[in-house]
Amino acid sequence: MNKALTSLNTFFLILLFLSLIFSMFSVPNLNIDEAQSIKINFYELIQQDEKLFDSSAPNTSVEKETKKTSAINKKTNTDETSIISKFKINKLGIKNEITKIKLSKEREDILRVSAIIQERISSIWIKPNSLSESLIAKVLINLAPSGEILNFSLIEPSSNTSFNESILTAMNKMTFFEEVLSLERKLFEQNFRNFNLVFKSSGEIQ
Amino acid sequence: MIKFLSLLFFLVSNSIFPVLEIEILKGSDNLSKVAFVPFGIESGIEENYGSQISKNIEKNMLLFGEFENLAVNEMLSYPSSENDFYYRDWKVLGVDYSLIGKVNSVNALGNLNISYSLFNINRRIKILEGEIVGSEDNIEGISKIISNRIYEEITGLRGIFDTKIAYVINSDADTYQMCISDIDGKNEQILFTSKAPIMSPDWSPDRKKIAYVSFENGLAEIFIQDLQSGERDSIQALGMTNSAPVWSPDGKSLALVVSFSGNPDIFLYSMNNKRLMRLTNHYGIDTEPSWSPDSKKIIFTSDRSGSPQLYEINTKSKRKKRLTRDGNYNARGRYFPDGKSIFFVHGNDGNFQIATKKLSSRYIETLTSTSLDESPTISPNGNIIIYATKDGSNGYLGGITLDGKSRFSLPVKSGSVREPAWSPLLN
């Protein structure tokens, strides 16, 4: 009995491990706009889905099929069902177009708000002088829907104390990101309720 | 087991729902604002001491343009202890850091006991607290020590307010003076005066001696002068002329240029056995050596390729490497204290500017915007470069912080100031 339980345990462990590997490969780490230095992985994922929604091909085939049916006028039952299903596809295509427009609007909104947040932090962050090494630190921010910063924490500090201190000082100067008020609630919850600020110093001599 | 499963779940869920990340690469061009509150005094102590100390510290901290201050008459309160300190009084004035302190006592020998605290206003925390005892005749020295500690706390870099600078003053057509002073220009000392040119001063790592080139006997000769006793010794190297002496950071040798029958090459001169060892041997001009911080390599200028360019040589293997290729004039190279980058004079269309280059990168970057810059020297904390430049025919010392936020000129001396050399830190 014990043996059976242990092997069942092992089986579940392997299953979980495989699901971890699968999830790591199936969700790509993506960049939306390198120039603006804003990484929004989630939306690139949706972008890939958009490719699946590409409705131009089914549309033309439906048109052709419609002409064909009107010209011949008589067809078997199977033909009729195929026409109905293709009409459905056409409908789906329109729906997808709407989704596409909606998504690109959402994408634009996220980029706009992210760019404002980036600019506001940059304008108050006093980088320590002469950082000759490349540094990176990550801050997790929890926002209220009003834009109020409820909490922030340096979840991945850099190796340089002054760099970390300068980030904490800058974060303490911020109290609100009221820009999120312009977002739809769903969009806020998905993207800005919790988000990361990644502070970087490339070790450049300016 | 439960822990393991929850960790797995966390990893899986994390990779399925990635969090929005916004990258911040650029910082603000603003400077940190510091309030230097006049220090309090216990009754019975000379009243001026308090304000004198805070004023000195303020002057030091503002010397290189790295900070902004809050004027005393704009302050809402003048606390001298933590109990009287309210963050809101400083927050409303946009202050980032606030320094308070107090002269607590003075003993029979005239030694002052001073305590001080530094607050980060935005984070609402005390970031530094200290106490120092020093003579009332040395308030400047005490202020420098406190300034260094504050600077280190805020920037994470070593304080440089007790460093010195060596330079040559050419007061009239045929008078040259070898001088040293504190970095703020105070306490100037003339080490040597000559009717013939003086060049290339360099500090020994222990800050007790200075090596320089003097033409007093008609030819370029290297002298080492003891700062305590004032004694001068010339290095009896072989060859026609000896020039451009530079101490190795470990203090064991001098890199210098020796010219046999008009062909200058780089040599090492051992301070222990007084022997000379050849490093380069080329018919081109090899000059202006400078040591890497680990004393293993030397950067030098050579025209072996047809124009002055910078090369690096390993002092053991003598393997050479060309470091610069941009433009037809790159000279007077020096390493940054971390040894990863160099700075030098870059000539372009008759303009000579200070430039920097990461050794790992192909690109150079010009730092200065004046056009006749020469002899750059770097602060021992690697944050500030001082160089000689010209305003008409008058030479003065300009400076720039490496983040480019601050450009300044050091107090003007009478006469043309040239060849600055920043002293090392005292350990």
DSSP string, B65-101: S-EEE--GGG-S----SGGG--HHHHHTTT-SEEEEE
**Closest-CA residue in chain B for A203?**
B358
Identify the helix (H) or strand (E) that includes residue B122: none
| For residue B294, pLDDT beyond 50 | yes
CATH of domain A126-206: 3.30.1150.10
Q: Which residues of B, range 228-257, sit inside 8 Å of A by Cβ?
A: none
Task: List the single residue in A20, A162, A165 with the smallest CB-CB distance to B12.
Answer: A20
Whether residue B399 lies within 8 A of chain A, CB to CB, comes out as no
Identify the helix (H) or strand (E) that includes residue B149: helix B139-155
**B contacts of A37 (beta carbons < 8 Å):** 22-23, 25
Q: Which domains does chain B have, with CATH numbers?
A: 32-155 (3.40.50.10070), 164-422 (2.120.10.30)
Asked if the Cβ–Cβ distance from B382 to A202 is below 8 Å, we say no
Residue B414 binned pLDDT confidence (cut-offs 50, 70, 90): confident
User: Can you say how many angstroms the Cα of residue A38 is from the centroid of all Cα atoms in its chain?
Assistant: 11
Distance from CA of A165 to the nearest CA of B (A): 9
Asked if the Cβ–Cβ distance from A173 to B404 is below 8 Å, we say no
**A contacts of B96 (beta carbons < 8 Å):** 126, 169
What CA–CA distance (Å, rounded) separates A57 from B392? 75
Strand partners, A139: A154, A197
**A contacts of B382 (beta carbons < 8 Å):** 130, 132
Which position has the token pair 């060596």?
B166
A91 CB-contact burial (10 Å; exposed 0-12 / middle 13-18 / buried 19+)? exposed
Distance from CA of A188 to the nearest CA of B (A): 11
The tens digit of pLDDT for each residue in B185-238 reads 889 999 999 999 999 999 999 999 999 999 998 889 999 999 999 999 988 766
Asked if the Cβ–Cβ distance from A39 to B20 is below 8 Å, we say yes
Q: Are strands B341-348 and B351-358 parallel, antiparallel or unpaired?
A: antiparallel
**A contacts of B8 (beta carbons < 8 Å):** 16-17, 20
**Closest-CA residue in chain B for A116?**
B22
**What is the structure's pLDDT at A36?**
46
Asked if the Cβ–Cβ distance from A110 to B30 is below 8 Å, we say no
Taking only the tens of pLDDT, chain A with its 206 residues reads 566 667 777 777 787 777 666 555 544 443 434 444 455 444 444 444 444 444 444 444 444 444 454 555 555 566 666 666 666 667 777 777 777 777 778 888 899 999 999 999 999 999 886 556 788 999 999 999 999 999 999 999 999 888 999 999 999 999 999 989 999 899 999 999 999 999 998 755 54
Distances B168 to B181, B210, B212, B258 between C-alpha atoms, Å: 11, 12, 10, 22
Q: Average the pLDDT over B4-9 and give the result.
A: 46
Asked if the Cβ–Cβ distance from B24 to A196 is below 8 Å, we say no
Closest CA to B247 of B225, B216, B218: B225
